[in-house]
Structure 1
Amino acid sequence: MTDIKAVVQERYGTFAASVESSGPVVSCCGTTGCCDDPITGGLYSPEEIGTLPPEAFQASLGCGNPTALIDLAPGQVVLDLGSGGGIDVLLSARRVGPTGKAYGLDMTADMLALARRNQARAGLPNVEFLEGTIEDIPLPEASVDVIISNCVINLSADKPRVLREAFRVLKPGGRFAVSDVLVRGDVPEDVRRNMGLWVGCIAGALNEDEYVAGLRAAGFQAVDIEPWREYSAADAQAYFEDAGQPVGDLAAADGRFFSGFVRARKPGAR
């Protein structure tokens, strides 16, 4: 697990440093961060983008928009697992209002520094960024109304522990609403490896049945996965051709890898 964490921290740190410099941008999900590509493009509406400092949008590494998954109400407490540059935390903070709170949790110091600068630019006092891992959430039991995450849980080497921790910090009746990368059915290892060169997050993606089983094992109810954007073999092939990098046959990837909306609820009165 340590090696995986080190790789993720290095990638995220490199990305954070690139956002406010003229250097190249290298993301985890995809290659260029939040732009018009099949992975990261078109995740946020113009209205959402317009409410944020440009640096928060440029720092987005996700493959979905978890804030679009769920209704948030004034006064609620939201936690974003793997909050990166803070885009989803800031959007959530606006929706829960001054009587609510939005936490962002990240393990990369450079990302946390960038997120805090974005918070200052956005002028949102009801935000707090925490340093730590999603396997050991530094919040007390039953302290959060809603957990969101944007294509980060797939990066963990101990996903069952992440889901147990999410269950622990949620209040009874609390909701889990994340975007993540998933796999449908069995995929040959060479195909998974080649697709992983295009979309780094695929390397750790769970099968959708495993994800459902993991949430239920953690104690969640009303588990649902809604595919949102499939990653096609044609898109991957075009990427490799543009990069001048030959790969094998990717036909078996069609319809197998996708970003999806994952929803669940902690039992209890609400």
Structure 2
Amino acid sequence: MRNEQELKELVHSKYSAIAQSTSKASGCCDTSCCGPSDEVYTLMADEYTHLEGYNQDADLGLGCGLPTQFAKIKTGDTVLDLGSGAGNDCFVARHETGDKGLVIGVDFSEAMITRARANVAKLGFQNVEFRHGDIENLPVASNSVDVVVSNCVLNLVPNKANVFAEIYRVLKPGAHFSISDIVIEGDLPPSLQEAAEMYAGCVSGAIQRQDYLQLIEKAGFKNVTLQKEKPILLPDELLQQYLSPADVELAKAKMGEIMSITVYAEK
């Protein structure tokens, strides 16, 4: 099993490569251009195009929910997006917070930061900024943020308790977060847990739903609420890359449910 540093390096490498690609992750794949492993990154994505503030250049198809839709962002708010990628959720949040607010995106892939800054330069926004950093040690002042959002990112962090502690630190008293992420109810087969693509695609980094919610409560948050849930189905063709055909059905039974959830909580 990889240690925490190895997992972080794996994620950094995979998402930096995506940032440097000229294609949208969820839109590039047809039967001629890429292999089935790309499904790991795309099978969870929600449709963003109907949201105000959506920018196509910033949408890499890497999320598993629509946290900004549920985040109760008000005009003038300071919003922080964890794992901001090319800026998709930041630009939607900026529409909600308006010219008087501030939107900060943090990502630990330098390539993602470069892509996001290019996007904001094209849009001409003066109140959206992108900072390079680790979400376990946020480059953000304590008690300075009104709303934290994140879209399918905490799965990629081995020590999720550190992230929730940092979210608690940067939020103002009474402020809140809305986070979309993947959780499981059941057990992933060892071969899926070990697969690099499955980890970097957010699947094998998922923890049990109850454990996830307990981490939030242990960090000190209150009014923890599930705002949305949806099942994630792993296609047989994808499972067969890591399991023998005879083991696929058994694995699916043991895995139980893989779910995308959007969670709200207050400091």
Range of TM-score over shorter length: 0.7 to 0.9
TM-score relative to the length of structure 1: 0.83
Letter in 1 for 2:57: E
TM-score relative to the length of structure 2: 0.84
Q: Is the 8 A contact 1:178 1:263 kept in 2?
A: yes
Change (3 A) 1:222 1:61: same
- Pairs within 5 Å for 1:88-99: 88-99=89-100
Counterpart of 2:48 in structure 1 is 44
- Pairs within 5 Å for 1:1-270: 1-19=4-22, 31=38, 38-40=43-45, 42-48=46-52, 51-57=53-59, 59-184=60-185, 186-190=186-190, 193=193, 200-232=201-233, 235-240=234-239, 246-247=244-245, 248-249=247-248, 250-252=251-253, 255-266=256-267
Alpha-carbon distance, 1:60 to partner: 3.5
- Number of residue pairs aligned between Structure 1 and Structure 2: 252
The DSSP-based 3-state class of the residue aligned with 1:99 is coil
Q: Is the 8 A contact 2:77 2:102 kept in 1?
A: yes
RCO (CA 8 Å, sep 6+): is it higher in 1 or 2? Answer: 2
Identity %: 32
The DSSP-based 3-state class of the residue aligned with 2:38 is coil
Unmatched runs of 5 consecutive residues or more in structure 2: 30-36
Alpha-carbon distance, 1:256 to partner: 1.2
Alpha-carbon distance, 1:226 to partner: 4.4
Q: Is the 8 A contact 2:191 2:242 kept in 1?
A: no
Letter in 2 for 1:17: Q
Distance of 2:70 and 2:87 partners within structure 1? 17
Unmatched runs of 5 consecutive residues or more in structure 1: none
Q: Is the 8 A contact 2:10 2:196 kept in 1?
A: no
Distance of 1:158 and 1:244 partners within structure 2? 25
